[in-house]
Structure formats: structure tokens, C-alpha cells
Structure 1
Amino acid sequence: MEAPRLLLVLCVLLSLSEAREQNNMGCTLRCPDNSTCFNNSCVCKAGFSPEHISITDSCDDINECVPPNSVNCGPFADCKNTVGSYYCECSPGYKLKTGATKFMNLSENTCHEIPFPVWRLPSGISSKNLSAFLDKVQGLSRDLKSQAAEQIIKKFVGVVDGLLEAPGDIKNLSQRDTHRVATWLLSYLEHILRSLAQALPEGSLTYSSPSGTELSLVVKESGSGNVTAGQGHARMLLDWAVVAGAEDSSHAVVGMLSSQHMEKWLANASLALEPEKLVQLTEAKERPVHGARATLLSAVNSVFLSNTNTDKLASPVTFAFSHRPEEPGTELICAFWKNDSSGNGHWATTGCRRLGSGKNSTTCQCNHLSSFAVLMAHYQLEDWKLTLITKVGLSVSLICLLLCIITFLLVRPIQSSRTTVHLHLCICLFVGSTVFLAGIENEGGEVGLRCRLVAGLLHYFFLAAFCWMSLEGVELYFLVVRVFQGQGLATRWQCLIGYGVPLIIVAISAAANSSGYGHTAHCWLDPKRGFLWSFLGPLTFVILCNAIIFVVTVWKLTEKFSEINPDMKKLRKARVVTITAVAQLFVLGCTWGFGLFLFSPESWHDTVLTYVFTVLNCLQGTFLFLLHCLLNKKVRAEYRKWACAVTGNKYSEFASSTGSTSQQTRALRPSESGI
């Protein structure tokens, strides 16, 4: 009995279903948009109202984001209405924990506030400009909850540009502190941009500021394959597998900030070469490499990812950097800015290698991330033989110059205006050579106060020495050409020229470019921007003037020797004139002219000139002592008196002078001619 009853119920249900389908198939009404025909009437779809309409009416969208239909998206999310539906998205300044961008109800996801790093100035750094910069950045963090993240990021880049272009009181910091601030700022930029990028919707963002700073961001769900980011200054290629961090693996961010304005902040930064690189250079150059002078050629490119553990990447990142042309004789290096334990920084190359270079472009590959740049390295080759010659030669000259100074002060028979010039020339050379030996090397690579002071003292005393050499030429001109012995310049005018002119030159140079004093390799004038000509200019002028005086005096000396003794043999006359001329070359400083022809230390002829220049000028004090003291008859007689006074023997002036008075008509030796 039960089976027939079940079959009857089933037949009834099938009949009703067939009747309903036939009724719908027979619906001939043309209903408005967003509605459907049912039982010969128009019914609005879900999300539209009213439920039933006529063919002349329309279905209106239900706004689920306003009462009485509003949905609950949570305290940190906003409802967004769509046609026939809605979605929830996190409010500005908040993001979904899962990394998605939209959700339909509160139970699906939860929004939380995007962390915005709060930074303070590095310890020991006081700067109004940096404090104002931090205040502006914190103001942007408050605006993050009312403005779109993209606009906040662009404003942040503008604030950074303003600081880099107009550092203000940061320029007054020491080089070491400036590098500390640069290290702090580069790390700060990465943290801020990484946080701001989390508030961006999925996609990419490229922005180039009016100052030329470029920012590239790519935001998307983690996946596989490669991704490319960058613009005109630099581009990079990396695997998405290394982008996402462990805490938020579903939402990945990769970005690059390229700035050309960091160059003055990182000026004179040291470059740490790997031991393997030093060995390779030593073998290639066939001499020890003392260090490298690095010049920044490209923009500084800071790279950051969602993944903060980037000290050792699973797969390397490839970069293509655009940069200025390099100088001949230099090497292009792929380097990164390395933060040390003290908060300072320097350029390093560990983990990076150069794949190749084209026209104003270099390709690099690195297995870690930081701030990268292309550097132009000029290696400082150490020639131990040249160093030995310099130290030994200057040490001997210092002893001779000290003896000269004592002689000119104590030997009364030779006192004259020329002796005054000799004395001050020896004093300037003595002080300059002492400072050179003690402080020319810049061991730490940092251009500090000591290095700048050494460079300033060397600049002044060597210029003063050349001024006194020019006065030597003037005195020689009066003595030989004008034959007005004793009628040269007065002592006060000599001191005014000898010490006043170099003081004016140094004062003007320091006022025009105080940062030109000191260099990372040695405490001397920085050759950048032609600052070296503040020394080479006066040097060239003095050498040219003294060279003219030298030619005139040698010609006059030849005539004088002929007048004194016409019967003197030509060979002897040539020997006397030659000895006198060579001696005057050192007195007048003409041997310094060899340094004006040193252009490329790599060439063999410049190497020869370097040795000649070093030997001649390191021994200048020795030649002065030989010429003005040992070869001077009056000085030798005074030395004998001193020796006899020390040993207790009796000195006889007659015995010392009989040999020199036996031949009155003989030609004057160079030492006896007063020249």
C-alpha cells in the first residue's frame, strides 16, 4: 500500500514542476534592466528594489552602505557600494591581515593599523633641518588616515628632496657625522616606504619628482617568476620567491628609490676593497695598492622588499645602472653602502660583481640588498722606493736646513739682505718639510680637522718658500745685472712679500672652497674643481720669472768671467759657469718645474719625471747648505773658529787665508763670487 502512495505523490510533484516551467516559458513580458520575468510579472534581482515592478518601472540599486540597509564592515573599514552589491575595504592607514584588498562581511577579515616608524636623530647629532624634516614626516603619518597612500608617498618623496637639496646646517657637520646622517637617512627611507607601500592597492606605482628623484613600487600577491622594477636611473630584475616576508607572505612589495642628490652627502666616503681584490690589483699593477679613491657616478638606489631579511638572498638580483662617463685610467665598481657598528658607513663590494659595462651603463649582480651605486675607482699605487727616497731625502734636507738657519743667524761676516732672504727661505722650507713628513698621510681616510690643518699649513709654507725664491731672483738680478749690491729691497718689504702674499692667497682659497683642504688619501689640496691651481698658479708664475732671471744672470756671469780673466781656458770657464748655473737652479726653485709635466703616473716617462722631481726637490735643503755654507769661504772660516773653540785649539786667520791670496788674478769660484 505504501509504494502506490509514494508513486502518487511523486507524480503530483512532477506535474506541478512541469506546470511551473510551462508558465515561465510562456512569460512574454520585456522586463526592464536588472529584473527578470516570473509568472508573467517583472521581479527585481537581488540588490535592487522594489521586489515587483511593471514593465514601465525600473529597479533601483539598494545602497548597502547607508541606513537602513548599511552593513557592518568593522571599526577600521569602509563600505563601498556597487551596482547590485557592495564590498568592504580597509580605511586609509589600515590594511587586511591576510593581504587581500576587499571583503564582504566582518567575519572574513580584520583590518589593522599600518605601522609608521617613529625615528629620532642619531646620537650626538644636533640639526634644526633634520628636526624639521622629522616633524614633516610625522605630519604625513597623521595624514595617512585621511588621504590616499599614493599621495602621501609622493609628498614624502618631495620632503626628502627638500632635505637633500637644501641641507642647511647639516653642511656644518664634520664629514664623519655627515656620513652617519646619510646612513641613518638611507635606512629611514627604506622603512618608511616599505610601510607606506602596504597601504597601496595591488599594482605598480612609478613616480618621478620635479627634482629627478625616481620611485618605483610593485605591489601584488606573492607568486612565482621574475619581476622588473625601476625607471631611468636604474632597473632591477629579481625572483618573486625572495620578495615576500614570512609574516605577510600573501601580499608582497618591491621598491626602488633612486636619488641623484645623495652625492654631496656621501662625498669622500671611503671604499673598502676585498682582500682578494687587493691581491688581484697588486698582481695586475705589479706594485702594492695603497687604496682607492672612489667617485660616485650614478644615482644612489635604495632597494627594499616586504622581506626584511635580505642579508643573503636565495637568488641574486640583477641591476642595470645608468651613470656619467668614467675617466680614462679608472675602473667601474658595483658598490653598496654598508652600515658599520658605530652607525657610520662606507662603500663596500662584498657580494656584488660587475657583469659588464656599455655606453654610460653598467650591469651588476648582488646577493643581498642595500643602497647601490656605480663608483669610479682610481687606485693609489704605493711605490716603496719613491717613499723611501722622499723620507730619507727630506730627513737629510731638514738637518741641512737647520744648519743653514743657524749659520745665517750666527755668522756675522756674511750678514746682508741676501742672507736675510736665504734665512727666511730655509725657515719656510724647514717648516713645510717637517709638516709634510709628519702629517701628509691620511691614514684613516677621513678628512678631519687635523688633515685640513696640515693641508693649510703646507699650502701656506710652500707658497711662502716660493715667494722667498722669487726674492732670491730679485736679489740675484740686482747683484749680477744691475750691479747694485746691497741696494735691493728693504727687509720689511721682503717680509711683507714673502709672508703676506701667500697669506692672502691661502685666505682667498679657504674662503672660496674650505672643503678643498684635505683628501681621503693625503692631507693636501683636493684636485676637484681646479682647486689645485691655487698652488700651481703661483708656482708657475715664480718658476717662469726665476727662469728668465736665471738665463739673464748666467749670460751676465759669462761676460764677467771673461772680463776678470780673458786668458781663462774655455773648458774651465764653462765648468765654472755650469757649476754656478746648476747651483742657482736649486736656489731659484726651477727644479720644481718638473712637477708641472706630471700627467699620468701610469706612463713610463712620467715615472722617470716623478723620480727626478722627488730626488731634486727632497734634496733642495742639502743643496742650499752646500752652496751657501760649505762652499762659502767666510762661512768655512767661521766653522773653523767654532771647531777650535770646541776642541780648545788656537785658530789662525793668517793660516786659513794664505792659500786664497796667493793668486789674485784667478777666476772667482762660484762660492767666492757671492752667487
Structure 2
Amino acid sequence: MHASENTCQDIDECRKTPGLCSPKPTCINTYGSYWCECRAGYVPSTRNSAMCEVPSINSSAEFEGIKETWRNFSLQGKWSGRSSSFSSFFNSTLDILMSTFGDGNTELSLENVTLHFNAILNSTSLWDGGDKWDVGSAVTVLLQSVELASLATALRSAERTTQNMTTESMAVETRLVTGNCSRDSEVFTLRAYEETMDVHCDTVTGAATRGLGAAVFISYSTLDSIISARRLSEGNLPAGGKLEKSHLNSRVVSGAVGDGRPIHLSRPANFTLRHRQTKKEEEEALCVYWKVEAEKGSWSPDGCTAVHTNSTHTNCSCDHLSSFAVLMAPTTVTESYPLTIITYMGLTLSLLCLLLAILTFLLCRSIRNVSTSLHLQLCLCLFLADLLFLTQVTPTGSQVACAVIAGLLHYLFLACFSWMFLEGLHLFLTVRNLKVVNYTSASRFKKRFMYPFGYGFPALVVAISAAVNPDGYGTSKHCWLSLDRGFRWSFLGPVCAIILINITFFALTLWILRNSLSSLNADVSTLRDH
């Protein structure tokens, strides 16, 4: 700068000397001086602070681990015969990683890296050609390799803060973070397909070295079907636990931050995953990650919690980053011991009373008429339904037997309501003919409608229900109707209709009785009328 009498004027060295800083740094003028700042995607060189370079990635341990897995498979002879496709897979994966980590000054393309791994995911001969353990190891290596290659691409792509790439088998979004976060609470949201990852900015920068870090989010559209088809978690889950009976119900996603080193997050990362199929009412959503042990992988819930779930999405909060998914497990229902005792005692007493009623209606000929015949059929159906229900309080081990029991219960309980409907109809017809004491209509009613309707109507409903939804009988918890697709209305619909009709019959019967009794004696008192 130079002085003019009593004033000083700053000289802009950056504008005066355009080449003052090297091409990668940006020249920033200051009062009386200047300094060179590396552009996004570069860090000061360790050899010359005035120069900038692409940051090195501290991923040698992870990279060596992948190579060690490949060596172990080669030494064990797993590539002989049918597993030759897996040898090609590991060689292709190593070639991608070697080109990624080979030259630290090479500018990488997220598109090229993604397309290479997309080709591997689309290789049907690879995933169909090996046994469960071969595929499991290949999935483990693939997940780790895509994470490392995506981080390397993000960290070495100068001047590109955000990158994304979507193919038919995977979608990737990366976010480059330079310097300090403007606010500690700032959260980055990365999206891939229909899934999202929320991660704090200071989590990314805290895991970085030399002031540069990256966040990567990957979603796989076909990997969940590969894992489910090969049942990769079978044998690695606790017996009798929730995971043992669970099934995969989301895309597999991966998240990574920093510069490639594994870290424990100071603040949890949140993932929102879309369900492949609508969550059932009797299912519980479990957030799990792909845990690597002894060169294999299996799902584990450690460190992950389902914060919120609905029929279509689950939000997971995890204190570490890896590959994640949502498993659907049957809800564990703890039976109430007092309620069980009440059920057994109440049903036993009901069965005893029903048996006495049945014997009474059968043996006492003096009271036989249409009304007692209806009572007898109702008691028989209710007795059989209660007896069958009592003998299978807990679901049977056979799925077919459970479905048969559910069908029989459906039929018997519907038959009970059918005979209740006939009781109401018979009472209404009897009262309607009370003035003329005419029971011929009731007798004709018995002959024409009683048995065909009482046993035929529930059989028709069950037959139609079984034809429309044969899988609707029997659930994981009870031998009864499934709650899916509104199948319960095959029982509730007819029952509600019969209850409404019988209420109507009851109201009409009371009205007819009131008018009939009033007409017998006009001087009857209001009290007796009521």
C-alpha cells in the first residue's frame, strides 16, 4: 500500500498480480496483505503450504480388509467350479477400488463409479451361482466397497459440493463439507430414491482430517431381494428372538461420513426408509444394520432404534454408520394370566350350561315346538364353537390345521347368529299373528326356512370368503381371521346386519304387543300398559 499525505490506500495484490496464487488456491486480499485459500475440494499441501492438493483418504485399513477377504476365499478354494462368478466379482471390485485409491491426484467421477457397481448388482449369474455364505461375503464386500469408493469420489471431486447419481440398481448422493459449520445444530439431508439420511454437519467435520469431510448416502433397489432370496441371515440370529421370524421390508441403505475412517457418532444419524409392503397391524418394525463378523454379515439391531413407524415408512435413529434396513417381525403378545383363568372358567361354565340346555330340549318332549327347536340348534352351534375355541387358546403348530380351525370357528359363530336371526323372525311372526291365534305361518316358516338358512347361509359366506382370500384364515398369533385386506368383515358384516335386523324385529314386536294388549281392555291403567 502507499501513503498520500495523511491517508493510506490499500493495494489489491490479487488483482495486480493475477498469478499470485497457484491455479487451485483462491487469492483473498486483506488490508495491507493477501493470503491464498484452497478452493472447495482441495486442502493445503503437506509439502508446500502455498499449494493445494486433493486430500488423501485414510481408508487403508478398510481397503486392506477387503483384500484380505478376497485372499481368504482364494486360499479356501471357494472359486472352484460353480463359484467362478464370485472370483470375477472380487476381481472386478478390487479393480474399481485400485483405480479409486491408486492415484491420490486423480479426479474421480461418481457416474463411472456408480455404473461399475451397478453392473455388478445386475449380474444375475453372480447372485444365483453361489451358496448362502458365498453370497453373504460378496454382499459384505460390496457394501464396504461402494461406501469407500463414494467417499473417495466426493473428497476428490473439486468444486462440487453436492453430487448425485441414480441407476436402476442403486442411487448415491454425496455432500462435501469444508471448514467449520456455521451452526453446530445444522443438519444435512441426503436423499436416494425414496429414502433419506439426516446427519449433523459437525458430525461430518468432526470425523474429517485437515478440515475436509464428506457425507455419503446410498440406497440399493435390488439388494434387499438378493438378501431375502438367499436368506443370508438364517443361522446367525438368536433362536426364539424377534429377528428369527422377521423378514426384510425396505431397501438396503448405506451411510458414511468423514474421510473413510470408522467412527462412533457423537450425535445419532436418522434414516427414513420406505416399506416395500404395507406394514401389517400385527407386525413390529425393527431397525437393523449389516453386522460384519468373520467375513460374513447378518442383521443386528445394536445401536439402532425405530423412532417412528406407520404403514408406509419407518424412521430409524442409529449411533453409528453402516448399512441399514427395516425388518418386520411378528408382535410379541404377552397373555394375561388372570384373563386366561377367566376365559377357561367362563367357557367351562358356559359349556356345562349349554349341555344341560341341549339335554332339556332333547329329552323333554312336552315342550317341543318351533321355538324350542330354534333354541336347540342355537345351543348346539354355540356349544361346538366354544368347545373348539377352548381347545385351541394358543395357535397350533401346523399352519394348515390352524387355517382349518379358523374356518370352522368362522362357520360355527356365523351359524349362531343365523339361528339368532331365525329366533327373532319367529318371535316377530308369532306376535304378529297373536290377535287371531294363527300359528300356521310359523309352522310353514319352520319347514321352509329354518334348517336351509340356519346352516346354509354361514356355509355360503365361508365358501365365498375362502375363495376370495384363502390365506385369510389363521394368523401368527391366533387361529382366527386375518386382519389384512379387511378380511374380518367376512364375519363382522353378516353379524352387524343380523344384529340390526333383530333390533328392528324387537322394536316391532314391542309395538305390536303394546297395541294388542291395549285393544284387549281399553280401561287398562297406564302403569300396566307400561
TM-score when scaled to structure 2? 0.52
Distance in 2, Cα, partners of 1:352 & 1:98: 23
Compute the displacement of 1:338 (Å).
9.3
Distance change (3 Å), C-alpha of 1:528 and 1:491: same
Residue number among 154, 167, 171 corresponding to 2:118 in the alignment: 154
* Equivalent position of 2:505 in the other structure: 549
How far is 1:235 from its partner? 2.5
Aligned partner of 1:478 in structure 2 is: 429
Report the equivalent of 2:33. Answer: none
421 and 235 in structure 1: CA distance in 2 versus 1, 3 angstrom threshold:
same
In the other structure, the counterpart of 1:171 is none
The 2-side partners of 1:536 and 1:262 are apart by 37
1:538 Cα deviation (Å)? 0.8
- Following TM superposition, by how much is the alpha carbon of 1:373 offset from its aligned partner in structure 2, in angstroms? 2.7
Aligned to 1:320: 271
- Following superposition of structure 1 onto structure 2, how do residues 68-147 of structure 1 map, counting pairs within 5 Å? 141=89
- Shift of the 561–301 alpha-carbon distance from structure 1 to 2, 3 Å rule, reads same
| Distance across 1 between alignment mates of 2:529 and 2:84 | 83
> What letter matches 2:414 in structure 1?
L
Partner SS, residue 489 of structure 1: helix
Change (3 A) 1:115 1:156: same
User: Do the aligned partners of 1:354 and 1:362 also contact (CA within 8 Å) in 2?
Assistant: yes
Q: Does 1:462 align with 2:413?
A: yes
* Aligned-partner residue type, residue 423 of structure 2: E
Count of paired positions:
380
Question: Partners in 1 of 2:134 and 2:507 — Cα distance?
Answer: 61
- Matched letter for residue 392 of structure 2: G
- Alignment equivalent of 2:371, drawn from 410, 413, 418: 418
Aligned residues of 1:217 and 1:256 also touching (Cα < 8 A)? yes
SS of 1:525 mapped into structure 2: coil
1:506 aligned onto 2:462: yes
Rate the CA distance shift 1:149–1:355 in 2: closer, same or farther, 3 A.
Answer: closer
Instruction: Report whether the alignment pairs 1:487 with 2:438.
Output: no
Structure 2 Cα separation of the partners of residues 370 and 200 of structure 1: 15
Alignment CA distance shift 1:461-1:571 (3 Å): same
Q: Contact conserved, 1:517 with 1:524, CA < 8 A, in 2? A: yes
Kindly indicate whether the alpha-carbon contact (under 8 Å) linking 1:335 and 1:375 is maintained by their aligned counterparts in 2. Answer: no
- CA deviation after TM superposition for structure 1 residue 473, in Å: 2.0
Three-state SS of the structure 2 residue aligned to 1:203 is helix
Matches within 5 A, 1:240-251: none
Q: Secondary structure at the match of 1:436?
A: helix
Whichever residue aligns with residue 501 of structure 1, its letter is F
Aligned-pair CA distance for 1:233: 0.6
Q: Is 1:405 equivalent to 2:405 in the alignment?
A: no
For residue 113 of structure 1, report the CA deviation from its aligned partner: 7.9
* Cα contact 2:290–2:322 (8 A) shared by 1: no
Matched residue, 2:288: 336
507, 515, 522: which one aligns with 2:478: 522
Q: Which amino acid aligns with 2:287?
A: A
SS in 1 for 2:471: helix
**2:439 match: secondary structure:** coil
Instruction: Kindly indicate whether structure 1 or structure 2 has the higher relative contact order, using CA contacts under 8 Å at least 6 residues apart.
Output: 2
Q: Within 5 Å, which residues of 2 pair with 1:258-657?
A: 258-259=220-221, 299-303=250-254, 315=265, 318-323=269-274, 335-336=287-288, 350-353=302-305, 362=315, 364-367=317-320, 371-373=324-326, 389-442=342-395, 448-482=399-433, 483-485=438-440, 486-491=442-447, 493-562=449-518, 571=527, 574=530
TM-aligned CA deviation for residue 474 of structure 1: 2.2
Matched AA of 2:467: A
Whether 1:203 aligns to 2:150 is no
SS in 2 for 1:478: helix
Distance 2:349 2:391 in 1: 15
The answer on whether the counterparts of 1:475 and 1:488 sit within 8 Å (CA) in structure 2 is no
Give the superposition deviation at 1:542.
0.9
Distance change (3 Å), C-alpha of 1:481 and 1:187: farther
CA contact (8 A) 2:197 2:217 kept: no
Deviations along 1:325-384, one digit per CA (max 9) or x if unpaired, are x99x99997622799xxxxxx998553236789997835024585643398999969777
- Taking the aligned partners of 1:360 and 1:534, their CA distance within structure 2 comes to 29
CA contact (8 A) 1:356 1:364 kept: no
Shift in CA distance, 548/457, structure 1 to aligned 2, threshold 3 Å: same
Distance across 1 between alignment mates of 2:134 and 2:379:
51
- The AA in structure 2 aligned to 1:552 is L
Measured in 2, the distance between the counterparts of 1:140 and 1:473 equals 76
C-alpha spacing 1:198/1:353, structure 2 compared with 1 (3 Å): closer
The CA distance in 2 between the partners of 1:371 and 1:118, in whole Å, is 31
Please tell me the residue identity of whatever aligns with 2:139. E
For the 8 Å contact 1:300–1:372, the answer to whether it is kept is yes
Q: Which consecutive residues of structure 2, in runs of 5 or more, have no partner in the other structure? A: 1-59, 97-111, 155-162, 175-187, 209-214, 229-241, 257-261, 292-297
Which residue is equivalent to 2:14? none
Question: Distance between the aligned counterparts of 1:515 and 1:437, measured in 2?
Answer: 23
Match of residue 193 from structure 1? 142
Answer whether contact 2:248 2:325 (CA < 8 A) is retained: no
Partner of 1:234: 196
The answer to whether the 8 Å contact 1:337/1:370 transfers is: yes
Larger Rg: 1
Task: Output the CA distance in 1 between the equivalents of 2:346 and 2:306.
Answer: 43
In structure 2, the residue matched to 1:86 is: none
Change (3 A) 1:421 1:513: same
Q: Give the conservation status (yes or no) of the 8 Å contact 1:297–1:323.
A: no
Deviation at 1:510, TM superposition (A): 2.1
Residue number in structure 2 paired with 1:247: none
What is the distance in 1 between the residues matched to 2:223 and 2:153?
A: 28
Deviations along 1:80-133, whole A, 9 cap, x unmatched?
A: xxxxxxxxxxxxxxxx99959xxxxxxxx99x88969999xxxxxxxxxxxxxx
| Unmatched runs of 5 consecutive residues or more in structure 1 | 1-95, 101-108, 120-133, 164-180, 219-226, 244-252, 267-290, 306-311, 340-345, 575-675
Q: CA deviation at 1:436?
A: 2.6
How much identity, in percent, do the aligned residues show? 27
Deviation at 1:142, TM superposition (A): 11
The 1-side partners of 2:198 and 2:378 are apart by 61
Q: SS at the partner of 2:445?
A: coil
Asked whether the 8 Å contact 1:408–1:423 carries over to 2, the reply is yes
Over 3 Å counting, the alpha-carbon distance change for 1:152 and 1:357 in structure 2 is: same
What's the CA shift for 1:392? 3.7
Counterpart contact for 2:89–2:120, Cα < 8 Å: no
Alignment-mate amino acid for residue 203 of structure 1: T
Separation in 2, partners of 1:420, 1:186: 67
Cα distance in 2, alignment partners of residues 365 and 97 from structure 1:
23
**CA drift at 1:509:** 1.7
